[in-house]
Structure 1
């Protein structure tokens, strides 16, 4: 954590512009909805997600609870990374710690490409699914087998060269799991057509579901090589000053 904080301090001091091409595509904390029908007017009424009071499980405001099965989704306009922008999906979810779940948040265009992040039963536990991306299609990849009760955070960044998932168990900055899948660096044949919450491929979940909150989907600028060099220099300056 210390190195990360120092690097950010150096970047701020040097005034590096890293968000010139940033754009928020979806941002939802579910607090604006009065009931499930209002939420489904945005997320689709075919899905099985419901609006719940997140304070009952240690959260804040409202959230979407989904116990698997038919997904709720928001349509996207062929969203994909480019040479100058990455796509980032972030948010939180509550897990009651009970096993045998099949529930995820995902981005896909049919099955080409297909990405899901959440809990699955084969492999069991927290996992991510990556299918039909340029140069990579490993399917389900286990992140951590043991489920933990509580609110967990995720941040997934899609670029032309890689998909990087950072999963923070208990959202405390201590139990961090980072997984990176290398891509070929080619432009995508097709981008994401929907953001979805529910059962992976609409599968049921006998062990119950998850509660999702603070969902954000955005594009962020890819730092240019010169900016990355300045960022490294700023981190070194901050380290020397600290010493």
Structure 2
């Protein structure tokens, strides 16, 4: 089942309790400057661990018994649950055979709106299965505002190539055209023609900041990055990302073949609480220096 969670390294209640205990035990025994130094170090220890991500969407399709159950979470058009061919386990199958612009090719999941602020990165990731039967397809994993703005898509597109990405309807600076991954190579490091279809599960990642999107393609999902593209963006008004769409980009059909989707995730790094704690820690350090 798709989960909508916000990870937390240290709850605010626990943090406040910890600070209160320190102040009470330190009163009358430790000078203020020493106390501030101690608190700075203590909070730094909390923040200095691995940077935590706030998980917004995490979907591996493993919890569904059948397509009906899948449709209880996802808004389905032609999507069905494939119980045998996932990465691993189960996946969403998308044949893409519906007519274009009829609503027959878009499977979607909505969530509370989010957009990365300064110093934050929103990470959108999807595994897409390519049967390599055709490079004349239109299938993608997309992230956007449901209002029709700030659109990110990555997957198969037959113009200009096969493996491609798009950023469209952002503010000034984004390019609305589909772009092939430049300098694509195979896992041996040898050049791979744009139109070449490679059979297997491939991992697409979009790392989104407030000014750019870094796309990567990992053919076969083995950790070797086969292609990278960086797109400049500028947020379109106040529109937030609030929907994931799997299937035909802009609801286009793909009569030459479909795909399967698995391991869909969306997370924000660093999580908001961690960022605030880091700023608080820096502030304590500055106060201590002034004394």
TM over 0.5: yes
Report the structure number with the largest CA radius of gyration. 2
1:177-188 alignment, distance < 5 Å: 177-184=227-234
- The answer to whether the aligner puts 1:28 opposite 2:59 as a matched pair is yes
The Cα of 1:70 is off from its aligned counterpart by 2.3
- The answer to whether the aligner puts 1:121 opposite 2:158 as a matched pair is yes
Structure with more of its chain in strand, by fraction:
1
**Are the structure 2 counterparts of residues 154 and 16 from structure 1 closer, same or farther at C-alpha, using a change threshold of 3 Å?**
farther
Task: Please give the per-residue CA displacement for 1:71-110, whole angstroms capped at 9, x wherever unaligned.
Answer: 1111132221111422111131210002211111101124
Match of 1:94 in 2: 129
Match of 1:211 in 2: 260
Match of 1:220 in 2: 269
- The answer to whether the aligner puts 1:136 opposite 2:174 as a matched pair is yes
After the TM superposition, which parts of structure 1 deviate over 6 Å for at least 4 consecutive aligned residues?
A: none
- Superposition TM-score, scaled by structure 1 size: 0.77
- The answer to whether the aligner puts 1:19 opposite 2:69 as a matched pair is no
Which among 190, 205, 220 is matched to residue 170 of structure 1?
220
Task: Please give the per-residue CA displacement for 1:38-72, whole angstroms capped at 9, x wherever unaligned.
Answer: 11111114x211100344x7x42110011224211
Distance in 1, matches of 2:255 and 2:60, equals: 27
Distance in 2, matches of 1:48 and 1:125, equals: 22
Structure 2 gap segments, 5+ residues each = 1-46, 97-103, 182-193, 279-291
CA contact (8 A) 1:102 1:120 kept: yes
The Cα of 1:16 is off from its aligned counterpart by 4.0
Match of 1:49 in 2: 79
The Cα RMSD (Å) is: 2.4
Where 1:113 maps in the other structure, the secondary structure is: strand
Where 1:190 maps in the other structure, the secondary structure is: coil
